Amino acid sequence: MEGAVDGARTAHLASPAVQTFAGSCHCGRVRFEVDADLERVTVCNCSMCTRTGYVHLIVPPERFRLLAGADDLALYQFGTKTAKHRFCRHCGVSGFYVPRSHPDHIDVNVRCLDGVDVSALTPNRFDGRHWEASVGRLEV
C-alpha cells in the first residue's frame, strides 16, 4: 500500500505539463525561476516584440520568483504605459516584464530560460499590431 502511494506521488511530480525553469539575463545579474507549461507560449507581431524576438509565457505571480537583480532592472514604457518593460541595465536583456494584457501577471521570455529549445516549441500567434481587436482572444 505504501508503495502505491509513493508511486502516485512520483507520477504527479513527473507530470510534463508544469516544470520549474531557471532563467537569467545575459550577464547573470538578473536571475529568476518560473513554474511553466511550455505548451502555452506566444509570439507577437507588435512593434516591440518584432524587435526583441520575445517568446512570451504569461504566468500568475505565484509561479514566478525573482532570485537576484531587482536593483539591476531598468524600466521602459511607451503607448498606454500599462506594460512595464523591464530589462537588465548592464547587458540589456529582458528576461521578463509586466504585460499590458495581464498587468497582474508576469510575462517571461522563454528565450532566457535554461535548457529550452525554442525552435521545438509551437507558439500561439498574437496579432499585437491590432492589439485592441486581438486581446480578447489571447489565452494564457
The residue ranges that bind Zn ion (CB under 5 A) are 25, 27, 29, 88, 90-91
Taking the complex as a whole, how short is the minimal distance between the CB of residue 83 and Zn ion, in angstroms? 20
Taking the complex as a whole, how short is the minimal distance between the CB of residue 64 and Zn ion, in angstroms? 18
CB nearer Zn ion, residue 31 or residue 105: 31
CB nearer Zn ion, residue 27 or residue 48: 27
Residue with the CB atom nearest Zn ion in the bound state: 88
Taking the complex as a whole, how short is the minimal distance between the CB of residue 90 and Zn ion, in angstroms? 4
* C-alpha distance from residue 29 to each of 18, 70, 92, 116, 134 (Å): 26, 9, 11, 20, 35
Taking the complex as a whole, how short is the minimal distance between the CB of residue 68 and Zn ion, in angstroms? 10
CB nearer Zn ion, residue 31 or residue 102: 31
User: 104-124 burial, b for 16+ CB within 10 Å, e for fewer?
Assistant: ebbbbbbebbeebeeeeeebe
Determine the residue type at 35: D
Residue 111's φ and ψ, nearest 5 degrees, are: -65, -15
